[in-house]
Every structure is written in C-alpha cells, then in structure tokens.
Structure 1
Amino acid sequence: METQFNNSTNVEDSTSARLTQNPCYVQCGDNLELLKSQPNESVNMIYCDILYGTGRNFGDYQDLKPIRSEIESHYLPRLIEMKRVLKQNGSIYLQMDYRINHWMRILMDDVFGYDNFVNEIIWCYTMPNNNKRRFNAKHDNIFLYSKSKDYIFNWQSVLTDYSESSKERGRYGSNSMMGKADSPLSKNGGKIMEDWMVIHTLKGNSKEYAKYPTQKPKELIRRFVLASTNEGDVVADYYSGSGTTAKVCQELNRKFIGCDLNPKAIEITKARLNGGQ
C-alpha cells in the first residue's frame, strides 16, 4: 500500500479527499489544525497515545508539564474536535499513565459524557526500575469512550482462550441442587478479553522495534482496531508517533489519517508503511 505524506501546513482538504488519494494519510503538523479541517462525523475510531505530562524533553519533542492548567488548555480544544469528527457509532481510545489520568478522565467525562464511558483498560508490562520508595508503576491507562450508546464493538474479534482450570470448572461446574453436572463452556470460541492486558514492551532486538522511544506494540492497538472498526473504516491517530496505529490499519485493511509534530516520527512512519514492521 503506497502511502501519502504531507509536510505542508495546508489542511483545507477534507478527510474523504485525503483518503481518496490514499488510504493512509499522515501529516507533519499541529493536530488541532488537522482536526479543525476535518468534516463532522468523518472518523470511525480514534486512538491516541497522548503526551503523558512528564515534562521531559525527549530530544525530538518536548512533553507537556504535569500542571493541570497546561493539560486542560492543551487537551480540551482537541477533545472537543475529536468528538465532532467521530461518527455516531464511533469510539475513542486515549492512552496515558498515572501522571494525568485523573485530569483526563474529568475532561473526557465533560466532553463525551459520563454515560458514554465504556472501559478503563490497563496495559501491564515489566521494565527495570531502581526506585525503592514506591511500588513500580508499570502500567498505562487507556480510556475508552463512545460517542453514543450505538457504538461498534466486535466482541467476536477480541476473544481469548480460557485457562485450563476455567475449562475444567466450566465443564463440571458445581450446582447447589444437583452437584456437579456436565455444563460445557460457551461455544463462542473463548471469552472476551478482560480490561487488563499483559503485553510485553518492545525490545531493542525486536523486528517490530523502529527505534522510537515511546513506541507501542502492534498487538495492543490491533485489539482496539478489531474491536471498534470494520474493514474499510477510518481510524485516526493525532499523536501518531512511530506510526504503529497506521501500520496496524494497513495490515487490517482500515483507512488511516494521522499526524505528528515531530518530522522524525513521520519519517519512521513512512519507512514502516513502505515495507517495514
């Protein structure tokens, strides 16, 4: 799939026009400008691994400071635009960690509505840590909200196998009146994944690793895309970073639109979409 890249600041063309030219559109620039250029209800799903508010300078980009006013002033106008461009049956996944998740939950409740909160998904991982003053913080929070109650959720796409002990309990479950009876588990092929997911971070020797410091594994994002979209749908990532969301969409036959302020991120995305992992 040949991919289009745009380094200009001209964002007057619409989502449909961009994706007519190419099913994967990535732009280097301000995500708020891109969002404002998009028509209402033009995106089926949004996934963003947002700025975590670490205050760090990563060399290629400067993160936000963990100050509530700074977080709110950055994210509120973008959340309002994200809701506008999302289709009525669409969903939004925002990934972050403990530094700003409490503020982001309030903002998302305000913009999308408390009743449209669907899940808080926990991505668990392990990494070395020498901090001896607290438990190691080794998980991210991913807030899933819908735009309406009529949202896509392809539960058959996110089934996982039962454990052996669960299989045994399910087949010969205890019944208070009749004792143990043969009661086979659901024939759906497994159970729906829990809202906590253990997926390894990418190692330096991984074929998937694109040498981007905050790169997320494809397996994590793949689950969200499968659950909340169908083939041919449009997925957006306004903090596209290493291009993992774009790569997953390419592999799953979804259209993609995204951007990042970091030119290096766009170059890495280009390489991944044109034959990389």
Structure 2
Amino acid sequence: YRKLPDYHHPVITQDCLNASIHFLKTLQTYGVDPSRVVISGESVGAWAAAVVMQALLNRPNLPQLRAQVLICPPLQAINFFLPSFQQHQNVPFLTKDIVMLAVCKYLAIDRSWEDAILKGAGIPPDAWEKYKKWLSSENIPKRFRTQGLQPEFPGPFNEAAYLETRHVLDVENSPLLADDKVIAQLPEAFLVSYENDILRDDTLLYKKRLEDQGVPVTWCHVEDGFHGCILLFDKKPFCFPSSLRAINAVVSYINGI
C-alpha cells in the first residue's frame, strides 16, 4: 500500500482491499486453493487486514476466506486510557508519541488536537454510551489491569475537537466498532498479543468481540513479547525468544487449518 507521509486516509485500506479483491478474483493464476485463503497482517498491516476482512463480507461473489491472522493489531483510535496504553506507553518499539504521530498523520489531523484525542474530548457522550460496551477497560481481563491507573475514559466533551477528529469513529478506521452482525460473519481468527505492547488491549477487546458473536478464536499471548518482535525472528543476533515463539505459533496455526 502507499505509505505516509505522502498518502493519508483512506489510502491504506483502499489499496489493501483492491489488491485483495484482485487476488481473490484470480486465484487460479496463482495456483491457490480458494477454500484455503488466509488474510494476515502485523501491526498496521493487521489493522488493514481486519478492515479488509469486514469489507469483503459485502462481496459474496468472492471466495469465502478461511481465516484471519492478526498480529498485534491497532483496532481503534478512540480509547487511549486502556490499561496497556498506560502501562507500556514508553516501551520500544512503539511508544505513545509514535502512536499519536501515526494517528494524526494518517487521519490528517493537526497535532494540536493530540491531547484532545488522548483524553477522548472529541467523543460525544452518546457515542461513548453506544460503544463503551466494546471499548471500555472493563472488557479487559482483570489480570491485565493494575492499580494506580488513571480514571476511566473519556474526558469532558469538546465539540470543536469532535469536528476535527470525528473520523476516528468510522469503522474503516476503528474496526472494533463494527456491528455485531458484521463481527458474527467473520471467519475464525488467530490473534497474537504481546504483554509489553501499548496495543495489547486492542487485541483483547477484539478477542472478546469475536467470541461474544460465536467466532472461533485461537489466542497466542507472548508474555515477554513487545511490539514488532516477530519481525526479528530471522535477524540474528537480534532475534529474541519471543520472536521465535510468535512466528512459530503463527506458522503452526496456519499449517493446522
């Protein structure tokens, strides 16, 4: 897909969707079994994969996808008070500053609104009332929550902030907001999360959403993992045990379906 800083919303998801549709229409050219197509991604690629999976549900003329493999995906740009965002905001390779820079750059939001985004000031009360059942920290298992975290999101509503940032509420930017009927149609999922990852809780929230709608989920949580560690699996001497655990789990899952 075409990348930042030259390209912005909605280029990434449009590029990935167009490429996926082309591939699915020409599987014979690539010698691919149409019953065994898996869509996968890591980090922003996992976000794009989640968006593409949901979008393809509206195209019944294409082969049905076998599974989705999402590795440490960012799945919403709304609640930045989740436990993992507070616990691991300064952990390499993905810090709070990098997350907010990416969100603002991709959505073409001036960085002067960054603090408002972090506090949820642009989220209307009625929208939070609708979405908190999916995005609240209460949906995170207790073992991932620690004492001393900041009060629950969101902060006081600011209409000007809403007008500047309201596209964070679009499903194509925050696939965690998809309707239950959409989530229920998704194929089985393999989800990878890392304990020391600022985005850990997005995976946990999506896991709950999928399971609540009866979608089979296999979950791999790497206790000593950090964001991006899977990319180092073949980069000796920089390969970590967590890198190998993550990549081996993904390969084992795909080979087993």
TM > 0.5: no
- The structure richer in helix per residue is 2
- The structure richer in strand per residue is 1
Scaled to the shorter chain, the TM-score interval is 0.3 to 0.5
